[in-house]
Amino acid sequence: MNRVAIVGGGLSGLALAHALLRRTTPDLPIEVSVFESERRAGGLLRTERVDGFLCEHGPSSFLDRAPATIALVEALGLTSRLQRSHDRARRRFIYRGGRLRAVPASPPGLFTSGLLSLPGALRLILEPLVRRPAAVADESIHAFAARRFGEQAAAVLADAMVSGIFCGDARQLSMRACFPAVARMETEHGSVVRAMLARRGSTGDRGRQGLGRLTSFPEGIAELAEALTHSLGPNLRLSTGVERLQSVGACHQLTLSDGGSVVADAVVITAGGAATARLLAHTDAALAADLTAIPSAPMVTVCLGYPAGAIGHRLEGFGFLAPRSAGLQLLGVLWESSIFADRAPAGHVLLRVMVGGATDPGAVDLDDERLLARVRAELRATMQVTGHPRLVRIIRHRPGLPQYVTGHGERLARIESALERRPGLFVGGHAFRGVGINACIEDASLLADRVIGMLTRRGGRLTGITRPD
Ligand SMILES: Cc1cc2nc3c(=O)[nH]c(=O)nc-3n(C[C@H](O)[C@H](O)[C@H](O)COP(=O)(O)OP(=O)(O)OC[C@H]3O[C@@H](n4cnc5c(N)ncnc54)[C@H](O)[C@@H]3O)c2cc1C
């Protein structure tokens, strides 16, 4: 029997265990154990239903165009539970010049949107004419956007998008690591706009619909974590952290928080960058330094439920983002009850406010009272929200979302090559090859292939190790 230990029972660890168990065969039997330090699995995937409001602690949705996610949902028997977002959720807003402005569906709309000045909009539509440099270093998202679309588009549109997706700083994050597909568009077509037009022409995709539709489940994203947890049964050990990892011959020994230990042929750490660095610190100082150097941005999610009459905006959309130049503390507000059905009781709306991130890491340390006062003042200024919320839930995320800053690709390559010298050791999860739900599930599937490849090469044998139990 080949034994695989997975450290961390967040989405990445659970999806990896699920993939491995589905690939086990009589020729290659695999015993999979997931060790999760918390009392519940799912990591950031956590949903609470409070007084009829559905409050997501972390992620709320994924785009339904990712084959690995759709296959996992199908395998878990959740396909009939999929909940598609309302059509109106395709409309997004950006706070600019003291008001919320709709992001137009096509570039000509930028001229009347109020998001960019006339010269800013003209510069943006000239993107297809901008020559691609012969060689581009790993540049920031801001640098890429400014080079291709102009400084104003970078400061308003790219900045807002980076706040929304990564809670990050567009001047720090790596274009190649965060948006590899867009970076490739320039390399392959010489222009992002030309690449999009070519793709639309060849697939018949119509605008944003080509990206897929925001999707979740009626009882929230935790349904995915719960189904995975259920499918793993005794393979998942909760309240069992991994405290130490050491090589024993050709295998790896894990020391557990309950005092026990296990030996495995392969270990995959999906516990986040800092925890991964701690576990590998004694094996290789350079590897640990590279792992530690992947920063995270702490952030706060504030769920607020209001009577519908308290909001002076129609909430016909997904929500709004605030570029840092807007001077707001909040990064953005998701209009949860406009995105999905049944997120708030009748006559009420649910807002989810994001605060903190790479440009305001101290926000996570504000006490509830101060944080709430600031958020409510900004909701009043941006969406004319009055009155008291009926629901308040404040969720702090520490260490928060990993930040793929410039140099991430090279750092990742060094981490991978250090691990190649330690057969049977792998790292996964959102710290490395993609932060979103779809990226984590796809990465888990690819990792399962790599683990199986390694076990197959080893002939599926344990080499002279006696199990401590
Ligand atoms: C506020 C927020 C909103 C988001 N919104 C979206 C969204 O709408 N759509 C989207 O696609 N993505 C979103 N994301 C990103 C997405 O949620 C995450 O990238 C993804 O859930 C990461 O899963 P993971 O398993 O890699 O990490 P985690 O969920 O962090 O799981 C790691 C697990 O490891 C465990 N662990 C740590 N140390 C140990 C140890 N020593 N031993 C055992 N266990 C350990 C932890 O307890 C945890 O359960 C959001 C993220 C945040 C923070």
Encode pLDDT of 284-329 as tens digits: 899 999 999 999 999 999 999 999 999 999 999 999 999 999 999 9
Residue 285 lies in a domain: yes
* Residues 417 and 276 both lie in one domain: yes
What tokens does 276 get?
A: 């991964």
Residue 469 lies in a domain: no
Whose C-alpha lies nearest to ligand 1, atom 42? 241
Whether 297 contacts 401, CB under 8 Å: yes
Pocket probe for ligand 1: among 11, 39, 44, 394, the residue whose CB has the most ligand atoms within 8 Å is: 44
Where would I find the H helices in 95-246?
Answer: 110-113, 118-125, 141-149, 151-153, 159-166, 175-178, 180-189, 192-203, 222-232
Nearest-atom number in ligand 1 for the CA of 279 is: 41
CA of 391 relative to ligand 1 center, distance in Å: 25
Closest CA to 400 of 343, 350, 359: 359
* Residues 280 and 419 both lie in one domain: yes
Whose C-alpha lies nearest to ligand 1, atom 1? 58
What tokens does 73 get?
A: 């949902």
pLDDT in tens, the chain (469 residues): 899 999 999 999 999 999 999 999 998 999 999 999 999 999 999 999 999 999 999 999 999 999 999 999 999 999 999 999 999 999 999 999 999 999 998 888 999 999 999 999 999 999 999 999 888 889 999 999 999 999 999 999 999 999 999 999 999 999 999 999 999 999 999 999 999 989 887 765 554 556 799 999 999 999 999 999 999 999 999 999 999 999 999 999 999 999 999 999 999 999 999 999 999 998 889 999 999 999 999 999 999 999 999 999 999 999 999 999 999 999 999 999 999 999 999 999 999 999 999 999 999 999 999 999 999 999 999 999 999 999 999 999 999 999 999 999 999 999 999 999 999 999 999 999 999 999 999 999 999 999 999 999 987 444 433 333 3
Residue 337: how many CA atoms within 13 Å on its side-chain side?
Answer: 22
- pLDDT given at position 209: 52
- pLDDT given at position 134: 84
CA of 11 relative to ligand 1 center, distance in Å: 7
CA of 199 relative to ligand 1 center, distance in Å: 32
CATH of the domain at 135: 1.10.3110.10
Residue 100 lies in a domain: no
Whether 252 contacts 264, CB under 8 Å: yes
Assign residue 207 a region (left: φ > 0; alpha: ψ between -120 and 50; beta: otherwise): left
Whether 359 contacts 286, CB under 8 Å: no
| Residue reference for tokens 């519940």 | 40
CA of 71 relative to ligand 1 center, distance in Å: 20
Query: Under DSSP, is residue 5 helix (H, G, I), strand (E, B) or coil?
Result: strand
Residue 363's contacts (CB-CB under 8 Å, 6 or more residues apart) are 298, 299, 300, 329, 355, 356, 357, 371
Nearest-atom number in ligand 1 for the CA of 431 is: 26
Q: How far is C-alpha 284 from the chain's CA centre?
A: 28
Residue 98 lies in a domain: no
Nearest-atom number in ligand 1 for the CA of 38 is: 47
* Residues 304 and 453 both lie in one domain: no
Number of structural domains, the chain? 3
- pLDDT given at position 210: 65
- pLDDT given at position 203: 62
Cα 236 from Cα 34, distance rounded (Å): 5
* Residues 165 and 34 both lie in one domain: no
* Residues 333 and 185 both lie in one domain: no
Helical pair 437-457 and 67-75, crossing angle rounded to 10 deg: 80
Nearest-atom number in ligand 1 for the CA of 435 is: 19
Whose C-alpha lies nearest to ligand 1, atom 23? 11
Residues 196-239: tens digit of each pLDDT: 989 887 765 554 556 799 999 999 999 999 999 999 999 999 99
- pLDDT given at position 204: 58
Whose C-alpha lies nearest to ligand 1, atom 7? 59
What amino acid is encoded at 119 in this protein? Answer: P
Cα 195 from Cα 147, distance rounded (Å): 17
* Residues 244 and 322 both lie in one domain: no
Whose C-alpha lies nearest to ligand 1, atom 19? 435
CA of 401 relative to ligand 1 center, distance in Å: 8
CA of 248 relative to ligand 1 center, distance in Å: 30
* Residues 282 and 136 both lie in one domain: no
Query: Under DSSP, is residue 64 helix (H, G, I), strand (E, B) or coil?
Result: coil
Cα 23 from Cα 53, distance rounded (Å): 39
Q: Where are the beta strands (DSSP E) in 238-295?
A: 242-248, 251-256, 261-264, 266-269
Number of residues that this document lists for the chain: 469
CA of 430 relative to ligand 1 center, distance in Å: 7
* Residues 176 and 305 both lie in one domain: no
Cα 60 from Cα 437, distance rounded (Å): 10
Whose C-alpha lies nearest to ligand 1, atom 12? 436
Residue 217 lies in a domain: no
CA of 10 relative to ligand 1 center, distance in Å: 6
Nearest-atom number in ligand 1 for the CA of 278 is: 41
CA of 342 relative to ligand 1 center, distance in Å: 25
Residue 216 lies in a domain: no
CA of 88 relative to ligand 1 center, distance in Å: 28
Nearest-atom number in ligand 1 for the CA of 400 is: 53
Query: Under DSSP, is residue 401 helix (H, G, I), strand (E, B) or coil?
Result: strand
- pLDDT given at position 211: 75
In this structure, the dihedral spanned by the alpha carbons of residues 137, 126, 331 and 387, taken in order and rounded to 10 degrees, is 180
Closest CA to 107 of 123, 131, 90, 129: 123
Cα 168 from Cα 362, distance rounded (Å): 14
Radius of gyration (C-alpha) of the chain in whole angstroms: 23
* Residues 421 and 273 both lie in one domain: yes
CATH of the domain at 300: 3.90.660.20
C-alpha distances out from residue 224 to 21, 47, 63, 205, 262, Å: 17, 11, 14, 28, 28
CA of 402 relative to ligand 1 center, distance in Å: 10
Whose C-alpha lies nearest to ligand 1, atom 26? 429
Ligand 1 pocket, Cβ-based, cut-off 6 angstroms: 7-13, 35-38, 43-45, 58-62, 241-242, 270-272, 275, 301, 397, 401, 429-430, 435-437, 440
* Residues 392 and 258 both lie in one domain: no
Q: 73: domain range? A: 47-87+296-402
Cα 336 from Cα 303, distance rounded (Å): 9
The pTM (predicted TM-score) of the whole model is 0.95
CA of 6 relative to ligand 1 center, distance in Å: 15
C-alpha distances out from residue 269 to 34, 56, 219, 279, 336, Å: 10, 25, 29, 9, 33
* Residues 33 and 72 both lie in one domain: no
Residue 103 lies in a domain: no
Cα 399 from Cα 241, distance rounded (Å): 17
* Residues 315 and 360 both lie in one domain: yes
CATH of the domain at 415: 3.50.50.60
Residue 463 lies in a domain: no
In this structure, the dihedral spanned by the alpha carbons of residues 143, 144, 150 and 154, taken in order and rounded to 10 degrees, is -70
Cα 403 from Cα 291, distance rounded (Å): 12
